């Protein structure tokens, strides 16, 4: 008599299903960023199919050249949003530091003095916002809105009109081409990539970065663990302000002038890029490399619309649609992650 032994089903479908379920549980935070990468690839393929010569080295190199300032703003915004905050002042800070730097350069001040003043000016506005949020309990939206009006007002105090920049050091940042075959980089693009690299290191390999994620995940738990919550929350707004000052330098180099009306609405572009890149607006989850992808998606959409000869208002419409899509994706991921715990 032969005894039968029941064996559990080990079909490939069940195995793949289990692996997929495990991935969703452990790596759900990666899905929005992977979706952004997929959208970027689809956009590039579709643009090449439509315009034939879209994927040329010169055209792709210009993506970073045209959006270096936005990359820097998105990095600073990533730090703030990871803590569960928001910074609406970055566009105005960029305009203020840009016109301040252009004004000082036109008066004969050396660039080695002007550039640090631009960074410090942005940092001080960020410090003010951080103190309002942490020490006075002001909501980040209101505090950063106050910073927006302050920075924009200061920009108009400096000058009501555009100021041309002739300083060779500042213009060198934009006009220099470092060529690698048919590809090229400018110092502005290199600065933007360095900012991304430094931010990636800080967020993923330092105690400060772990504290940023912990605050966004659960601020009360972060306090109970003995983490320096107060200093970190203020610091992320200072970082965002310094990034706004650096973006002011990059935009001034790019345009060759400072203008007090620069950056109107740019804070919304930065927030959109960060969200499209996979950072949750509730904080605690996200990647600075995803923010870089979000900026590239934004840049590709602008370039496609330019190739089509359509109104640039379509850029805002498409980005708005993508933003709504990614917010829905984020809500689904958060809900599924909570149900799997």
pLDDT tens figures, 45-99: 988 988 888 888 988 899 999 999 999 999 999 999 999 999 999 999 999 999 9
Q: Using one digit for the tens of pLDDT, what is the confidence trace for 192-222?
A: 999 999 999 999 999 999 999 999 989 999 9
Q: What is the mean pLDDT of residues 134-163?
A: 96
Locate the DSSP E strands across the chain.
163-164, 178-180, 183-185, 257-258
The pLDDT, as a whole number, for residue 110 is: 96
Helix and strand numbers, DSSP H then E, in the chain: 14, 4
Q: Which helix (H) or strand (E) holds 219?
A: helix 219-224
Confidence class for position 33, pLDDT limits 50, 70, 90: confident
pLDDT-wise least confident of 32-46, 154-168, 225-239: 32-46
The pLDDT, as a whole number, for residue 323 is: 79
Q: What is the mean pLDDT of residues 312-327?
A: 79
Confidence class for position 34, pLDDT limits 50, 70, 90: confident
Q: What is the mean pLDDT of residues 179-189?
A: 91
DSSP 221-286: HHHHTT--HHHHHHHHHHHHHHHHHHHHHHHHHHHTEE-TTTTTTHHHHHHHHHHHTT--TTSS--
Q: What is the mean pLDDT of residues 136-161?
A: 96
Whether the per-residue pLDDT at 28 is higher than 90: the answer is no
The pLDDT, as a whole number, for residue 1 is: 44
Whether the per-residue pLDDT at 266 is higher than 50: the answer is yes
Confidence class for position 314, pLDDT limits 50, 70, 90: confident
Whether the per-residue pLDDT at 136 is higher than 80: the answer is yes
The pLDDT, as a whole number, for residue 2 is: 47
The pLDDT, as a whole number, for residue 123 is: 97
Confidence class for position 245, pLDDT limits 50, 70, 90: very high
Whether the per-residue pLDDT at 315 is higher than 60: the answer is yes
Sign of the alpha-carbon dihedral angle for 162, 165, 170, 175: positive
Q: What mean pLDDT value characterizes the chain? A: 88
pTM above the 0.85 mark? yes
Q: Whole-angstrom Cα distance, residue 102 to residue 262?
A: 13
Greatest mean pLDDT range, 29-33, 189-193, 307-311? 189-193
The pLDDT, as a whole number, for residue 74 is: 97
Whether the per-residue pLDDT at 238 is higher than 80: the answer is yes
| Three-state SS annotation for 152-178 | HHHHHHHCCCCEECCCHHHHHHHHCCE
The pLDDT, as a whole number, for residue 31 is: 77
């Amino acid at each position: 008599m032969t005894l039968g032994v029941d064996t559990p089903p080990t079909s490939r479908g069940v195995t793949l299903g289990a692996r997929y379920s495990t991935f969703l549980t452990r790596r759900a935070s990666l899905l929005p960023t992977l979706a952004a990468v997929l959208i970027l690839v689809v956009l590039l393929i579709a643009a090449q199919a439509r315009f034939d010569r879209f994927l040329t080295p010169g055209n792709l190199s210009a993506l970073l050249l045209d959006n270096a300032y936005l990359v820097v703003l998105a990095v600073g915004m990533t730090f703030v949003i990871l803590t569960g905050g928001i910074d609406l002042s970055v566009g105005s800070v960029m305009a203020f530091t840009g016109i301040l730097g252009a004004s000082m350069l036109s008066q004969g001040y050396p660039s080695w003095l002007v550039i640090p003043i631009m960074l410090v000016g942005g940092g001080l506005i960020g410090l003010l916002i951080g103190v309002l949020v942490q020490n006075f309990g002001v909501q980040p939206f209101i505090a950063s809105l106050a910073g927006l009006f302050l920075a924009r007002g200061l920009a108009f105090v400096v000058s009501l009109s555009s100021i041309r920049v002739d300083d060779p050091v500042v213009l060198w940042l934009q006009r220099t081409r470092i060529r690698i075959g048919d590809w090229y980089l400018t110092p502005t693009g290199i600065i933007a990539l360095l900012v991304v690299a430094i931010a990636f290191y800080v967020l993923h390999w330092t105690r400060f970065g772990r504290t940023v994620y912990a605050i966004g995940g659960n601020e009360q738990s972060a306090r109970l663990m003995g983490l320096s919550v107060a200093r970190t929350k203020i610091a992320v707004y200072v970082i965002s302000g310094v990034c706004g000052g650096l973006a002011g330098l990059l935009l001034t180099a790019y345009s060759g002038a400072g203008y007090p009306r620069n950056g109107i609405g740019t804070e919304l572009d930065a927030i959109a890029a960060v969200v499209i890149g996979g950072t949750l607006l509730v904080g605690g989850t996200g990647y600075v490399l995803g923010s870089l992808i979000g900026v590239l998606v934004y840049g590709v959409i602008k370039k496609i619309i330019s190739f089509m000869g359509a109104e640039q208002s379509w850029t805002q419409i498409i980005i708005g649609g993508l933003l709504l899509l990614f917010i829905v994706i984020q809500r689904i991921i958060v809900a599924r992650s909570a149900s799997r715990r």
